[in-house]
């Protein structure tokens, strides 16, 4: 079992009082399995993904990645986990503007001590970035920037990849091409994959789909 959540709960404090966002979430994901997570805006999809990625902590419950309970890890342990085992792709590309495409692609892998020049070259070719390696992010289209962000994540060969609306800033055709390519590359590294999306069409491309509503999964 790659990922196991048991009775995960999360609330936030507002001016009107506490708001329960996640009300006892449990799910399992095997290595190599792909899961689409859908739900209305404000349903807690991004909150759940942030908890799985160790970007925030649950109020209660258990989150295990490859057998390690991340709910009780400290910040250095969580940072190490994200460098090596968990890859994150967001709607915002989060590229480093002062680095070239080649440097952005290698950035996380270098930090994790996992830079593989042959694998990086394969990713560059598959992502259609060979002609862009010496450019900077501001010189790229939105689709190109998202492909760099995907390549940077996959360069580490993580066990689990979390993608939060990765096509939200792209037009439909470009977004479809990015998701199709992402699924192929995720399969190449045999990673578990969770995609947060509003699109039922994109969700239908994955192995499983769960819908989050009123803080619970359906």
Q: What is d(CA 206, CA 195) in angstroms, rounded to the nearest whole number?
A: 9
pTM for the complete prediction? 0.93
pLDDT of residue 209: 95
Q: Could you list the pLDDT tens digit for every one of the 218 residues in the chain?
A: 899 999 999 999 888 888 899 999 999 999 999 999 999 888 899 999 999 999 999 999 999 998 889 988 998 999 888 888 999 998 888 999 999 999 999 999 998 899 999 999 999 999 999 999 999 999 999 999 999 999 999 999 999 999 999 888 888 888 888 888 889 999 999 999 999 998 888 888 898 999 999 899 98
pLDDT of residue 173: 85
37: left (phi over 0), alpha (psi -120 to 50) or beta: beta
pLDDT of residue 128: 92
The number of residues making up the chain comes to 218
* Non-local CB neighbours of 14 within 8 Å, separated by 6+ positions: none
pLDDT of residue 81: 87
pLDDT of residue 123: 93
Domains of the chain, earliest start first: 32-56+74-217 (3.40.50.300)
* Non-local CB neighbours of 141 within 8 Å, separated by 6+ positions: none
Supply the DSSP string of 51-103, one letter for each residue.
HHTTSS--SEEEEEETTEEGGG--HHHHHHHHHHTEEEEESS----TTS-HHH
Q: What is d(CA 29, CA 32) in angstroms, rounded to the nearest whole number?
A: 8
DSSP H or E segment with residue 211: strand 208-213
pLDDT of residue 56: 92
Going by the DSSP 8-state scheme, the letter that residue 118 receives in this structure is H
User: Exposed, middle or buried: residue 141 (CB in 10 Å: 0-12, 13-18, 19+)?
Assistant: exposed
For residue 154, the SS3 value is: helix
């Amino acid at each position: 079992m790659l990922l196991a959540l048991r009775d995960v709960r999360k609330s936030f404090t507002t001016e009107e009082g506490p708001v329960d966002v996640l009300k006892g979430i449990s799910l399992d994901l095997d290595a190599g399995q792909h899961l689409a997570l859908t739900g209305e805006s404000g349903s807690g999809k991004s909150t759940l993904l942030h908890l799985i990625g160790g970007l925030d902590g649950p109020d209660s419950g258990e989150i295990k990645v490859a057998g390690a309970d991340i709910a009780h890890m400290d910040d250095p342990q969580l940072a190490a986990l994200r460098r090596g085992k968990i890859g994150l792709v967001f709607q915002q590309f989060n590229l480093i503007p002062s680095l070239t495409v080649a440097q952005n692609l290698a950035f996380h892998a270098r930090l994790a001590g996992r830079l593989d020049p042959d694998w990086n070259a394969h990713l560059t070719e598959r992502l259609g970035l060979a002609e862009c390696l010496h450019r900077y992010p501001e010189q790229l289209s939105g689709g190109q920037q998202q492909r760099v962000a995907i390549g940077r994540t996959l360069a580490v060969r993580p066990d689990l990849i979390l993608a939060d609306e990765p096509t939200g800033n792209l037009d439909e055709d470009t977004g479809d091409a990015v998701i199709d390519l992402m699924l192929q590359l995720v399969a190449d590294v045999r990673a578990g994959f969770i995609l947060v999306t509003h699109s039922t069409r994109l969700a239908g491309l994955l192995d499983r789909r769960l819908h989050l509503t009123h803080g619970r999964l359906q």
